[in-house]
Structure 1
Amino acid sequence: MAVITFANTKGGAGKTTAALLLATELLHRNHRVCVLDADPQRWFSRWQEGAPLIPRLSVETYVSASTIQKIVHERRQEWDFVIIDLPGIQSPLLASAVGLSDHVIVPIQGSSMDAQGGAQVLDLLRYLDRKAGIRIPHSVVLSRVNPAITTRSMSAVKRLLAEQQINVLDTPISERAAYREMFDLNRPLRKLEGTATGSGEKAIRNAEAFASEILAMVAPGKTLDRSLMSRRNMACYETAA
């Protein structure tokens, strides 16, 4: 079982889109997926409520800092992947969730505001490593990238991350109409009309590559050793929050 958390303290960074793309790709590959929708906007929960019944998917909402540890430990035994979609604000949930994670994904758009929101998450991860010797694997995914244009701000973000030796996924999440339609129509990407050709096919290939890259790092058989997880001190996360 693997726990993957999507975090950025700035809203609109593409966090829920990235979480939905990963979840639906994992389902397509016959994995069992539980999503903890901790975002008060409930975008993932709203999507699931309007979608047709999807086997092997559970979405839990109204997750709080006081309940998340219990929920994650219970769900680990039932599901191949637990995906946590955090609020797009600074919240005590951030420290609690990263402490339970096998990998933290930080979506960042090519703007200074997004980079600042992502930096708060990365600063917390560095703090835990430096002060408590707790090293939580994490990566940045560049989101809402125009597939035809590389902007100056995007190049600046890439350069900043490289200078700080932060792992950036090779696959950015492109800006695609199909990704917006998933939420508008409450459908998985592969169930949208027209995704078999043209731009829809490109969206699927992008989602496939994104999920494959994460699976190479966080397959169920590559999760953190449970004894190591048990040694993580939750009080340290509460202090960091």
Structure 2
Amino acid sequence: MPAISVANPKGGAGKTTLAFVLACELARSGASVAVIDADPNAIIAGWGRKRVEQGRASPFEIIAGPKESELVRLIDQYTTSHDFVLIDLEGTASRMTSRAFARSHLVLIPFNLSPIDAELAANAVALIQEEAEALGRQIPFRLVRSRDNAAIQTKTAKRIIGAIEEAELPLLSVGLVERAAYRDIFDFAATLEELEEGTTSGLSTARKNAYEVARAVIEAVQTEMAA
């Protein structure tokens, strides 16, 4: 079953949020999901610990703080036993990142629509391409717009999207929109389904966006695996 890595060398790009939202949506659809939290910040692992302390189960399995030497074995193990394996990677280039890329059926690169973020996303693309050259095969990836403005697209955003299209880089058809719900899931150690309209604004639109992002990722995985 597919392994999907989420990577970006810049903090605040929405990497962990994307991995978490995707895990929740896949699990909600009935898939068995394992999340390997290889990010030193261990935000998803921390979310899971809060759930345990509160006596609540997690909708997906969390493997926290893997060692570099065991990452490949873990990915191989969980892709055999689960429908989807998501790897939330550390922000910098490392052997851990390289090993995850080598085992990934798809790499997602979230980025904010700003010039600095776009440049760093390009660095992540270059890292994937270097790893692919070393392996002698392609590593499929998608750039993913993160913290999108749901209402308007700025001139800067349009220019960045235009540059991505001109460079013929693969861009996921749906971006992760900026929503309060995506912050509240970590604050309340909850899933989107567990949050309540009375305490979280824009919840229904966040749920719809999460569903659409997950569907687009599944379609991308199916396309790449078929190829």
With normalisation by structure 2, the TM-score equals 0.91
Q: Distance in 2 between matches of 1:191 and 1:60?
A: 22
Q: Which runs of 5+ in 1 are unaligned?
A: 226-241
Q: Which runs of 5+ in 2 are unaligned?
A: none
Q: Do the aligned partners of 2:3 and 2:84 also contact (CA within 8 Å) in 1?
A: yes
**Most deviating of 45-54 and 19-28:** 45-54
Q: Distance in 2 between matches of 1:193 and 1:14?
A: 23
Alignment map for 1:153-172 (pairs within 5 Å):
153-172=156-175
Q: Deviations over 1:31-68 (max 9, x none)?
A: 0000000000001111111132024x110111232211
SS of the equivalent of 1:10 reads coil
Pair 1:213-2:198 in alignment: no
One-letter code of the match for 1:213?
A: A
Aligned to 1:34: 34
Pair 1:148-2:126 in alignment: no
User: How far 1:198 sits from its partner (Å)?
Assistant: 6.9
Aligned to 2:44: 44
Aligned to 1:134: 137
Residue of structure 2 aligned with 1:76, choices 68, 75, 79: 79
Question: Where has structure 1 moved over 3 Å in runs of 4 or more?
Answer: 128-133, 221-225
Pair 1:4-2:4 in alignment: yes
Aligned to 1:60: 63
Alignment map for 1:88-237 (pairs within 5 Å):
88-130=91-133, 132-194=135-197, 199-219=202-222, 223=225
One-letter code of the match for 2:183?
A: R
Q: Distance in 1 between matches of 2:137 and 2:162?
A: 26
Q: Distance in 2 between matches of 1:128 and 1:71?
A: 20
User: How far 1:129 sits from its partner (Å)?
Assistant: 4.3
User: How far 1:118 sits from its partner (Å)?
Assistant: 1.4
Q: Distance in 2 between matches of 1:160 and 1:130?
A: 24
SS of the equivalent of 1:67 reads helix
Q: Do the aligned partners of 1:7 and 1:118 also contact (CA within 8 Å) in 2?
A: no
User: How far 1:127 sits from its partner (Å)?
Assistant: 2.6
**Most deviating of 101-110 and 67-76:** 67-76
Aligned to 1:18: 18
Q: Do the aligned partners of 2:93 and 2:127 also contact (CA within 8 Å) in 1?
A: no
Q: Distance in 1 between matches of 2:47 and 2:100?
A: 22
Q: Distance in 2 between matches of 1:224 and 1:75?
A: 21
Cα 1:164–1:133 shift into 2, 3 Å: farther
Q: Identical aligned pairs, as a percentage?
A: 32
Q: Distance in 1 between matches of 2:102 and 2:73?
A: 13
Q: Do the aligned partners of 2:111 and 2:145 also contact (CA within 8 Å) in 1?
A: yes
How many pairs are equivalent?
A: 223
Q: Distance in 2 between matches of 1:184 and 1:100?
A: 32
Q: Do the aligned partners of 1:143 and 1:174 also contact (CA within 8 Å) in 2?
A: yes
With normalisation by structure 1, the TM-score equals 0.86
Q: Do the aligned partners of 2:5 and 2:87 also contact (CA within 8 Å) in 1?
A: yes
Q: Deviations over 1:2-59 (max 9, x none)?
A: 100000011110000000110000010010000000000001111111132024x110
User: How far 1:92 sits from its partner (Å)?
Assistant: 2.2
